[in-house]
Structure 1
């Protein structure tokens, strides 16, 4: 009788655990965009907190004042960069607008000299009218673009506000997370959360260094090649370098297309330039920076980009790398060390 009760109890417990995990997974998948916004807020909070701790240690000011100064410095640098770059970018766009029609005509002339190019141009011209969207379709696309823009601005506002709250008192939120687990595991979870913070901090630092490197080299290289909008393209390369593997490829596309207006050889030189910059970053700079801080397998990075891109869209692609870095910490510390290797000798 006791064995039957014990078996029934195990079945009930197992079923309850499975249902609980299934419900949690369904909630995560249903509100996955929300959880990624929370993680983006945490990432921003880590950046502000790292700056705050640095100012506190170097100047001795209170952490509240240091956080305010860090926030002003962060947003001030963004505003200053935009104020300095915007006039140049605007002037380059105006120049490109003036030269673009003649460049397109030169491109058509070059394509028309080949049999396949002439055929492609004929098909393009014949189907040009059918490719023009109807008025209602244009209105729908405009509404979609407007809605997406509002959504992006709203998400950005949420990330900034929540990130500042997280950065203002991280210990309070960390304590709240730790209190959700049994008492005997709280010290260990606190250690893992501290390691996660250090991982994200050094990942952000390393990524910022590589982004600056890519942006500067792209600007200098494109200027030396005489490519229009060199500064604007460098800014694009700077921001897209935040996304590993895929970002640099996306950044090279507009530069190659613009260079192709000056001829195939110019496009080839630009492609070679981006390849060299990406090779230096991937095989020399990144290993040197991340060797003792954060190492993420390129295969895992690429797979995470695809997975999170499918689940969340662009936001998932942007946050895939830092999220994988944190997940690595939890898997290594809580699963490998505390579970798989718990019976191994300490010196092994």
Structure 2
């Protein structure tokens, strides 16, 4: 295949580098201005990649068209989620209620254990129920705010799912439309970059899925063997929060540690060791195997991306910081390093 000339006219290397810097600055400005919309679109792309990957597997096995298999996979996932909620929702609701009632007791025991330290007074003073504003107006305001947040989340979830479904049903239409936005000489290269981005994000989703399932199963089994109550709820919490590297593991361990504290200080040590072992298995066994097919992000870069996107784009940016950083690395490597810097050397 003829090499694609990504230079424009007789532009000098310095001019091309400055042009890429300007494009990067414009991209960052667009993220800052329309970050919420772009994150919803990016999440929809992740959903589309998942549906398309499952649909392609089913199409190869059955010989059906990809559009039909995507619809079949979507309906199967909806039925699976609905059946899971129907079977587990009552038990989970009961366990969540028990967890909500057990945490104050755990905090009281923690307060008693740390009462000899001067700094503990300031910490627990903020958690004192007597300091909370519990008048009816305040309660109604909080309930209204919570209901608004839930409705906003559900609305966003519906939009993301429909974006993902439409993208998965007719991927070629949207992909060709995006490619046609570039000059003809760029299009073959853009097509290869999109292939690499799709492969990367597909394997990232596979890796996160395997990590979430393994973390949930190992955590639930370990908590059950230790005799910690509400093991199912804590296992599901650990599995869901594993989606966010590092931060999720810390947050998921807090309720389990508080419940362990109700039993004994020794149990807190056992629960801590359990979560450390699970994270070691996930971080040093499962993740490296998956990263052989993806971009291996160094820990410092992963944490930096979480902090950056979390600060710029909020909780959703924190959740998607890792795939955004990985996709950014691919774009920088292929569109800038290979097509600008290394081309200038040749």
What TM-score results when the alignment is normalised by the length of structure 2?
Answer: 0.85
Aligned partner of 2:295 in structure 1 is: 294
CA shift, 1:58, in A, is 1.6
Q: Does 1:28 align with 2:50?
A: no
2:142 counterpart of 1:141: yes
In structure 2, distance between residues paired with 1:215 and 1:68: 28
Partner Cα separation in structure 1 for residue 182 and residue 107 of structure 2: 67
Maintained 8 Å contact 1:202/1:294: no
Asked whether the equivalents of residues 106 and 261 of structure 1 are also in contact (C-alpha less than 8 Å), the reply is no
Alignment match, 2:9 = none
Given that 1:92 and 1:229 are in contact with CA atoms closer than 8 Å, whether structure 2 keeps it comes out as yes
Gaps of 5+ in 2: 1-18
- Supply the distance in 2 between the matched residues of 1:128 and 1:255 (Cα, whole angstroms): 22
Q: What's the CA shift string for 1:99-157, capped at 9, x where partnerless?
A: 778x5598279539x6449x849x85996433334443333322222221111111101
Query: Greater CA radius of gyration, 1 or 2?
Result: 1
Which residues of 2 match residues 1-348 of structure 1 at below 5 A? 25-93=28-96, 103=105, 107=109, 111=113, 115-116=116-117, 120=121, 124=125, 128-343=129-344
**How many residues in Structure 1 have an aligned counterpart in Structure 2?**
329
Counterparts of 1:23 and 1:96 in 2: how far apart (Å)? 47
TM-score between the two structures when normalised by the length of structure 1: 0.84
**Per-residue deviation at 1:278?**
0.3
RMSD between aligned residues: 3.1
What is the CA-CA distance between 1:76 and the residue it aligns to?
2.4
**How far off is 1:263 after superposition?**
2.1
What 5-or-longer segments of structure 1 have no aligned partner? 1-15
Q: 1:18 to 1:316 in 2, by over 3 A?
A: closer
| Alpha-carbon distance in 2 for matches of 1:208, 1:27 | 30
**Cα distance between partner residues in 2 of 1:293 and 1:17:** 25
Q: 1:243 to 1:23 in 2, by over 3 A?
A: closer
Q: C-alpha deviations, 1:161-202, integer Å up to 9, x for none?
A: 111011111111111111111110001001100111111111
Between 38-47 and 138-147, report the one with greater CA deviation: 138-147
In the aligned structure 1, how far is the partner of 2:23 from the partner of 2:206?
38
